[in-house]
């Protein structure tokens, strides 16, 4: 069962709104939580606003809407629920299992949103400023998804990524999340400051894949935008 298709102008505006929220999340909320854990409420509000916009404007099918909201709910309340449900397990196992569940939910949520945004950015229709901003959002979403994957790898292989001096990354915390987000963005943009180094072969392969995607994405986007513009111009003639 599906809901009524969103209006094109509503979708376009939602892409701009999502870009603002995602930029606020990655460049403001995540670093602030690193410095002050009490600011986690800001991060939760950003996630909530992000999901609500996606459900209201991008997701056409009820199933997709339910999946997005469920994943978000698990991200927000999952740690506390998991702590209460897994009290019978030892502390290490309980913490690892909760962490894995949250990682899976975060990955599913971000991948779902990324696919929805990609469908609207690269779909047919007039090229607008909103859609270009949606492409920037898609670029940031790719970095966010890879950041989640790097976090998952590091939780299972603690030495998968290290600091440039060879020291291990800190224990699981908002600080490590911010560091891996920074690493993912610098890899996607091929900036490569070198202060965080992938050591595990799998981590290196993923870093290479992200760098390749970061190089190909602008070229692919430009080609698609030009094609859409030419197609729309022919229809008006």
Whether residue 143 is contained in a domain is answered as: yes
Number of domains in the chain: 1
Whether residue 158 is contained in a domain is answered as: yes
First CA to last CA across the chain, in angstroms? 38
Whether residue 1 is contained in a domain is answered as: no
The whole-number pLDDT of residue 28 equals: 92
SS (H, E, C) 180-194: HHHHHHHHHCCCCCC
Whether residue 137 is contained in a domain is answered as: yes
Whether residue 231 is contained in a domain is answered as: yes
DSSP E strands in the chain: the ranges are 161-163, 196-198
Whether residue 62 is contained in a domain is answered as: yes
The whole-number pLDDT of residue 2 equals: 47
Whether residue 26 is contained in a domain is answered as: yes
Average pLDDT per 10 consecutive residues for the chain, totaling 237 residues: 54 87 92 85 85 74 69 62 51 61 80 85 80 89 93 88 81 75 93 90 95 90 78 65
pTM across the whole model: 0.81
Residues 6+ apart with CB under 8 A from 42: 28, 29, 32, 33
Structural domain span for residue 207 = 8-236
* CA within 13 Å, CB half, 230: 6
Whether residue 3 is contained in a domain is answered as: no
């Amino acid at each position: 069962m599906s809901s009524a298709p969103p209006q094109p102008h509503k979708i376009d505006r939602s892409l701009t709104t999502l870009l603002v929220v995602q930029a606020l999340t990655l460049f403001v909320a995540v670093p602030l939580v690193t410095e002050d854990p009490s600011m986690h409420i800001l991060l939760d509000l950003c996630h909530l606003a992000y999901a609500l916009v996606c459900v209201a404007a991008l997701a056409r099918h009820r199933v997709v809407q339910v999946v997005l909201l469920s994943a978000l709910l698990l991200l927000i309340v999952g740690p506390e629920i998991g702590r209460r449900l897994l009290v019978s397990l030892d502390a290490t196992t309980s913490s690892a299992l909760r962490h894995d569940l949250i990682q899976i939910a975060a990955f599913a949520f971000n991948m779902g949103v990324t696919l929805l945004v990609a469908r609207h950015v690269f779909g047919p229709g007039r090229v607008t400023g909103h859609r270009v901003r949606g492409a920037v959002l898609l670029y940031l979403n790719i970095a966010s998804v890879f950041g989640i994957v790097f976090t998952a790898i590091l939780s299972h292989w603690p030495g998968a990524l290290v600091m440039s001096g060879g020291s291990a990354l800190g224990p699981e915390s908002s600080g490590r999340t911010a560091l891996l987000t920074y690493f993912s963005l610098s890899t996607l943009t091929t900036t490569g400051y070198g202060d965080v180094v992938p050591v595990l072969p799998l981590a290196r392969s993923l870093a290479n894949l992200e760098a390749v995607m970061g190089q190909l994405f602008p070229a692919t986007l430009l080609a698609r935008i030009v094609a859409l513009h030419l197609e729309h111009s022919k229809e008006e003639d």
